[in-house]
Amino acid sequence: MCGCGLREVPVFAGQGSQPGQLERSGGIAAAAGPLFVCYAGNQRLQVVLTPAMVVSAIWRPPVSTVATWEPTGVVVDERFRVHVVDPQNGMVHHFGWSGRYLGNTPGVGASRHLALARNGTLFVAGPLHAFQLGPNGSLVSGPMPACTL
């Protein structure tokens, strides 16, 4: 406990590269049991089972697809596909519920964030542009200028 009523989650065990350890953590998504947590510094998407809070898997795209990656944002769609944005190589990577790599959508630049609309459309945003991906993961539009206030 931190004294503020919040409970520290033991699976996130400090800085490092071992399972459960953090190194430039990014987006987090919850869906039907597991948490999906991006660790850009450790180049992995960690799958954590709840409520036990144990690491059940570490996902990465195949090395034949990308040598390095930097997962920073994650969403899970209604078909339980897991979408991960990667500014290191300008792609959105797509995984099946079991962790099987389904492919990628290139061309999203340095995007670091993902959002999912009710109709299955993915929105991807970076420092200068935003992109729209259709429910099948294909690039629909972009780059759209980022909004300035």
Taking the C-alpha atoms of residue 103 and residue 79, their distance in angstroms, rounded to an integer, is 16
1 pLDDT exceeds 50? no
Residues 42-76: tens digit of each pLDDT:
888 989 888 877 788 889 999 888 888 899 999 99
Determine how many CB atoms are found less than 10 A away from the CB of residue 139. Answer: 17
List, in sequence order, the alpha helices (H) in the chain.
Answer: none
Binning pLDDT at 50, 70 and 90, where does residue 149 land? Answer: very low
Residues in the chain: 149
Binning pLDDT at 50, 70 and 90, where does residue 19 land? Answer: low
What is the dihedral angle through the alpha carbons of 120, 50, 113, 61, rounded to the nearest 10 degrees? -90
Taking the C-alpha atoms of residue 63 and residue 102, their distance in angstroms, rounded to an integer, is 14
Residues 86-144: tens digit of each pLDDT:
999 999 999 999 999 999 999 888 899 999 988 888 999 988 788 888 777 777 776 65
Binning pLDDT at 50, 70 and 90, where does residue 26 land? Answer: confident
pLDDT at residue 25, as a whole number = 74
The C-alpha angle 61, 29, 16, rounded to 5 degrees, equals: 65
pTM for the whole thing?
0.81
